[in-house]
């Protein structure tokens, strides 16, 4: 993994309903070498994008509007075996059932933390000791 482009070669789905945040996430991910799928402002658009191809990972905003969540997208990513993390503006506890045991970052997210978290999420499992 290159330090200059730690996400080079990875396709990352971005689901975020806030235009400014979506633009920032897209810029940061592209600077880290990723190909961004999206950003998509709602679950319907993200699911349509998933029908067109499997990304390597994803960043999902939990709340996409009043009463609307990204959980349908998370469910589909689970089925496809795609690692993802949640990005949320809500203060949540790690044991919160909304997180489903998934990694999450609280907004505002530092660029370095986002890239490092995704790189760790996408790292091959065989790097574990004893593998």
Alpha-carbon distance 1 to 129, whole Å?
18
The share of the chain scoring above pLDDT 90, in percent, equals: 66
In a domain, 1, yes or no: no
Q: The domain containing residue 43 runs over which residues?
A: 11-123
Q: Note the pLDDT of residue 68.
A: 87
Choice between 91 and 32, residue whose per-residue pLDDT is larger: 32
Confidence of residue 111 (pLDDT cuts 50, 70, 90): very high
In a domain, 4, yes or no: no
Q: Note the pLDDT of residue 92.
A: 60
In a domain, 131, yes or no: no
The pTM (predicted TM-score) of the whole model is: 0.88
In a domain, 83, yes or no: yes
In a domain, 27, yes or no: yes
- Total structural domains in the chain? 1
The share of the chain scoring above pLDDT 70, in percent, equals: 85
In a domain, 118, yes or no: yes
pLDDT over 90 (residue 79): yes
Q: Please name which of 127, 128, 69 lies closest in space to residue 100, comparing C-alpha atoms.
A: 69
Mean pLDDT of 64-73: 89
In a domain, 82, yes or no: yes
CATH code: domain of residue 25? 3.40.50.2300
pLDDT digits (tens, 9 = 90+) for 5-50: 999 999 999 999 999 999 999 999 999 999 999 999 999 999 999 9
Taking CA atoms, 108 is separated from 25, 52, 81, 129, in Å, by 11, 30, 27, 33
């Amino acid at each position: 993994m290159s330090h200059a482009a730690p996400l080079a070669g990875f396709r990352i789905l971005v689901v975020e309903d806030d235009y400014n945040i979506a633009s920032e996430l897209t810029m940061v991910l592209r600077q880290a070498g990723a190909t961004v799928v999206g950003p998509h402002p709602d679950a319907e658009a993200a699911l349509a994008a998933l029908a067109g191809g499997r990304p390597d990972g994803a960043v999902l905003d939990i709340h996409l509007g009043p009463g609307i969540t990204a959980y349908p997208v998370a469910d589909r990513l689970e089925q496809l075996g795609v690692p993802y993390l949640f990005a949320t503006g809500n203060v949540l506890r790690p044991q919160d059932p909304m997180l489903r045991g998934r990694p999450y970052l609280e907004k505002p997210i530092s660029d370095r933390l986002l890239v490092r978290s995704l790189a760790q999420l996408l790292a091959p499992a065989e790097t574990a000791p004893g593998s």
